[in-house]
Amino acid sequence: MTLYFYKADDIGERFKLQPKLVKNIGVINKQSKSKKMYSRNYLNAFNEGIQLTECRWEERLLSLDDFFTKINSRFNDQTRLFFYGNGASMAFASHMALDWHKNGKIESHTLSDVSLLTAYVNDYSKDEMFSEHLKSFKPKESDIICAISSSGNSSNVIAALNYANEVRATTISFSGLNPENKSIKNSEFSLFVPLKTYGQVECAHQLFLHMWLDKFMGITEWDRREVQNMDAKHFKL
């Protein structure tokens, strides 16, 4: 890139002689401003996306509060939670199964055992890896199955949702990107994040997954004075 420097009293004449330079300077200034604003734009886009997130129970739109309240009403003494997803969503699934099991005191599992999954892929197919893994737990109507998928269209994710529906378990999907994705149509409860990039959808999923658990446990951030302590001897919600 070539940079040009002009005196203030000379710049007007120079611009007349080099109109392309004027255009290039405008582009450079716009790019510079965009780079400076990147973090603000990123956060603004994220905030807008979470505010416009759509929660559904079957075909009915619900508020976030009503959505999680409705799901939490399904818990009973027999309820088990199952989380699953591909890639980063599998990491979120493991995280939430841990927190629900340890802190929420709900028996929780993640369909992420590498040995089992590779065996199912080898002996059945990639599309059946989660559904076969889920079958090994013999899910019941009292169980809750939570699928996490940014696109909402992964064939192995949909196959497990379909199996869970067959056994009449409660099914939940967390998705994004495409509002017509298959997970919305194949789950009783669905949360759709209307953002267009994987990173932002994934961040939003983690936010809403924790919101669900914190609401179940009665944890609040906005009216507390002390920080949480996760040490078993001094544990505080």
pLDDT digits (tens, 9 = 90+) for 61-90: 999 999 999 999 999 999 999 999 999 999
Give the mean model confidence (pLDDT) for residues 29-39: 67
Q: In the predicted model, what is the mean pLDDT of residues 5-27?
A: 43
d(CA 235, CA 159): 39
Homologous superfamily of 55-217 in CATH? Glucose-6-phosphate isomerase like protein; domain 1 (3.40.50.10490)
Average pLDDT, integer, range 179-199: 96
Give the type of residue at 166.
Answer: E
The pLDDT tens digits for 138-181 are 999 999 999 999 999 999 999 999 999 999 999 999 999 999 99
Return the pLDDT at 91.
94
Residue with more model confidence, 216 or 8: 216
Band of residue 226 on the pLDDT scale cut at 50, 70, 90: confident
Give the domain ranges of the chain.
55-217
What mean pLDDT do residues 116-141 have? 95
| 235 has pLDDT over 80 | no
The most distant pair of C-alpha atoms in the chain lies apart, rounded to whole Å, by 82
Name which residue leads in pLDDT, 216 or 34: 216
Confidence category of residue 225, pLDDT binned at 50, 70, 90 = confident
Residue 52 vs residues 45, 46, 93, 204, 222: alpha-carbon distances, Å: 11, 10, 23, 11, 22
Q: What span, in angstroms and rounded, lies between the C-alpha atoms of 105 and 143?
A: 15
The pTM assigned to this predicted structure is 0.81
Residue 75 has, within 13 A of its CA and on its CB side, a CA count of: 17
More confident residue, 7 or 93: 93
pLDDT at 30: 54
